[in-house]
């Protein structure tokens, strides 16, 4: 599975694949085999290239505080599906419909919204299984579900449109008092 890791304002992609008793990690084209052992809650021993490192991890949602040796790193980690459906902050209102698309081929396993539902930014809309992992695809911003293009059990290709969202409607202005 690929992960987007944001550290010191820079986004990097890390790919993790099970390999024997550990993991094959690829970062910036460099491969490393990792053997990991959980020592206790949030404490790990990681063996790579013949070196053992003690690592402590504290998670708060998508924010991870990782302590290696005497250094602490704060990073945001998102799986590929969530990273690709995330939208940068924008000023101003969206003028047209937004589409939530499949970031890779997969199977639709659940729908979390229906046509006509009002949704907020980050609200789960569809659960998709890809690469043996279930991932929630979320609304990129507030709006109303205009159309669901898929159904549970359907296989989809990467890039397929799953949900169309209409921009949020502005509240009606009150009638002037007579």
DSSP H or E segment with residue 2: strand 2-7
Angle at 30 (CA atoms; ends 25, 34), nearest 5 degrees: 30
Match domain 97-166 to its CATH number in 1.10.3720.10, 2.40.50.100, 3.40.50.620, 3.50.50.60.
2.40.50.100
Q: Where in the chain is the domain with CATH 3.30.700.30?
A: 2-80
The mean per-residue pLDDT over the stretch 41-65 comes to 86
Tokens of 63: 């924010």
The mean per-residue pLDDT over the stretch 66-83 comes to 78
Spatial separation of the C-alpha atoms in residues 15 and 27, rounded to whole Å: 7
Q: Residue 39: pLDDT above 60? A: yes
The closest of 163, 146, 145 to 154, measured between CA atoms, is 163
The closest of 35, 39, 40, 75 to 59, measured between CA atoms, is 75
Q: Where in the chain is the domain with CATH 2.40.50.100?
A: 97-166
The closest of 167, 172, 170, 176 to 140, measured between CA atoms, is 167
Q: Give the model's pLDDT for residue 89.
A: 42
Least confident among 80-84, 102-106, 144-148: 80-84
From the CB of residue 124, how many other CB atoms can be counted at a distance below 10 Å? 15
Range picked from 6-20, 110-124, 161-175 for highest mean pLDDT: 110-124
Is CATH 3.30.700.30 the right assignment for the domain spanning 2-80? yes
Summarised one tens digit per residue, pLDDT across range 125-177 is: 999 887 778 888 888 788 899 999 999 999 998 778 899 999 886 554 455 55
Q: Give the model's pLDDT for residue 83.
A: 63
pLDDT grade, residue 96 (50/70/90)? low
- Strand-pair partners of 74: 65
The closest of 120, 175, 176 to 143, measured between CA atoms, is 120
Enter the pTM of the model: 0.47
Each as own residue / partner, the long-range contacts of residues 3-8 (CB below 8 Å, 24 or more positions apart, any chain) are 3/77, 3/78, 3/79, 3/80, 3/83, 4/76, 4/77, 4/78, 4/79, 4/80, 4/83, 5/75, 5/76, 5/77, 6/75, 6/76, 6/77, 7/73, 7/74, 7/75
Q: Give the model's pLDDT for residue 90.
A: 42
Which residue's structure tokens are 């929630």? 136
């Amino acid at each position: 599975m690929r992960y987007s890791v944001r550290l010191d304002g820079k986004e990097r992609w890390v790919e993790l694949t099970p390999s024997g008793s550990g993991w094959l990690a690829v970062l910036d084209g460099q491969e490393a085999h990792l053997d990991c052992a959980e020592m206790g809650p949030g404490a790990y021993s990681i063996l790579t290239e013949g070196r053992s490192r003690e690592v402590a991890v504290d998670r708060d949602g998508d924010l991870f505080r990782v302590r290696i040796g005497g250094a602490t790193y704060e990073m945001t980690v998102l799986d590929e599906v969530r990273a690709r459906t995330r939208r940068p902050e924008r000023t101003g209102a969206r003028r047209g419909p937004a589409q939530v698309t499949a970031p890779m081929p997969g199977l639709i396993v659940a729908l979390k919204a229906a046509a006509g539902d009002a949704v907020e930014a980050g609200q789960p809309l569809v659960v998709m299984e890809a690469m043996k992992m279930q991932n929630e695809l979320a609304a990129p911003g507030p709006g109303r579900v205009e159309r669901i293009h898929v159904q549970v059990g359907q296989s989809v290709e990467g890039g397929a449109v799953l949900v169309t969202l209409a921009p949020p409607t502005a509240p009606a202005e009150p009638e002037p008092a007579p």
